[in-house]
Amino acid sequence: MFRPRPSVVRRDSGLYAYERALARRGLTPIAGVDEAGRGACAGPLVVAAVVLRREIQGLADSKLLTATARSSLFEQIMAAAEVGLVVIPPAEIDARGLHKSNIAGMRRAVARLPFVPEYILTDGFPVPGLPAPSLAVWKGDQIAACVAAASIVAKVTRDRMMTELSSVFPEYGFDEHKGYVTPAHRRALRSHGPCPHHRFSFVTVSRTFVGDNGVGAGVA
């Protein structure tokens, strides 16, 4: 696999340092890939691949932004980037496993871009089988602009889906915790059992899963 000549990228050089270093080697466009919902026990895993066409002020790791700031940046990214988006439902996560689903989702998100990027930055861990040279960047959503943009697109998309899901299953409070494990979510699982949008392979859900028909009364 081709790799660019080594460059030293200081973590305090700004969010666009990786992209600029790669561009100096002629590696552009660059895609950033990240996911949202990996640690949730309900709802989908959403994976985004983003190629920024211009720099956007205020980009940061989606987890460090307010909901209002994320929403504003989401609109800016969608207007100034090429985006590949993949939604992996809970049933697929249960069948394939979380990590395999995540890896497959990253490959699928890149494949949904309108072109093959020259280089790909992934958040956290390497992804085999990508169509271009790639680099796994530890905490990439905090130090690489395209990965930060992908984290925002994935999280805002998923949060909106979970808010819509809350109108169908209001007893779980998905609009508040977005499917992550919280005391309120645990109480709802004990009271109502899991719904079809829970991940039954997750221990938090499986320990409340009783009965033969898929959903039953929870256990403490």
Residue ranges for the known binding site for a divalent metal cation are 34-35, 123
Contact between 215 and 193 under an 8 Å Cβ cutoff? The reply is: yes
| CA–CA separation, 215 and 197 (whole Å) | 11
| CA–CA separation, 191 and 217 (whole Å) | 7
The three-class DSSP label of residue 126 is coil
Which residues define the annotated binding site? 34-35, 123
| CA–CA separation, 19 and 28 (whole Å) | 8
Neighbours of 57 (CB within 10 A): 7
| CA–CA separation, 110 and 108 (whole Å) | 5
Neighbours of 53 (CB within 10 A): 11
